[in-house]
Structure 1
Amino acid sequence: MAHFLADVTVAVHIIALLFIGLGGFLAWRWPKVAFVHIFFALWGVLVNIAPIQCPLTAAENYFRHQQNLGDLPGGFNAYYLYDTVVPRSLLPAVAVIALALMIFSYIGAYLRWRHRHDTPTHRVRLG
């Protein structure tokens, strides 16, 4: 069971990372998602710059210990992403692209929100 729960934790972690990177685009359709996304984005930044462990990494480590495995070497990103999905040499470029996508998504969400509120909700019939 611990193996299954560790795998589920990895899947949830990947979904959370995708949401951190691309969740701003969901706000184009559902503007209130922006508030949840901001929390996730700030948490993602904090976990990567401060000595705070992500709760999902802690959960996976717990399930790994249940299987007599050690902690993830270097954390989730280092173990699953760096040098497998993204070469370490490209990490600065990936960070810039991710930031650009987030800014673009928020500009788009704002413009769509403004357009919705500028458009009259009723039309006047002539004749």
Structure 2
Amino acid sequence: MVYRFLADVVMVFHGVFLLFFVIGGFIAWRWPKVIWAHLLVGVYSLVNVVLDFACPLTRPEKYLRRKGGEDDYEGGYIQHYLEGSLWPEGATPTAEKVGFALLVISYVGFFVLRRRRRQRVPAAAARG
């Protein structure tokens, strides 16, 4: 029972991590300090995709599922939970490209907003 719960906690955390990868740059538009955490997630994700290594969150989830009496799944988290549900089978490379495109778009928007904010501050001070 405890092992299954812990496996679910790891699974949810893994999902939140992936969701943060996709939308974290946009969150930074409102809370700029988030960009540093998102940059780490983005670099990690890029290295993971390029080098194609297993995510370190998958192994503990599978271990906890086995300890809880469940069968663990084949492949990784994305193949098990997302591929075929969120996007069609075999479209993970496309989903990765979309994810990284969203990351780039969010960073461009982040830096545009940051520049506009910096330009407003001196203008407001000059009027003051």
User: How far apart, CA to CA, are the structure 2 residues paired with 1:78 and 1:46?
Assistant: 18
Residue matched to 1:17 = 18
Structure 1 residue 61, shift from structure 2 partner: 1.6
**With structure 2 as the length reference, what TM-score do the two structures score?**
0.83
The 10-residue stretch of structure 1 (100-109 or 65-74) with the greater mean CA deviation from structure 2? 65-74
Matches within 5 A, 1:1-127: 1-50=2-51, 52-119=53-120, 120=122, 121-122=124-125, 124-125=127-128
Structure 1 residue 7, shift from structure 2 partner: 0.9
Identity %: 34
Number of aligned residue pairs: give it: 125
Q: Secondary structure at the match of 1:73?
A: coil
- What RMSD over aligned residues (CA atoms) do the two structures have, in Å? 2.0
**With structure 1 as the length reference, what TM-score do the two structures score?**
0.84
User: How far apart, CA to CA, are the structure 1 residues paired with 2:46 and 2:102?
Assistant: 15
User: How far apart, CA to CA, are the structure 2 residues paired with 1:68 and 1:61?
Assistant: 11
Q: Secondary structure at the match of 1:24?
A: helix
5+ unaligned residues in a row in structure 1: which ranges?
A: none
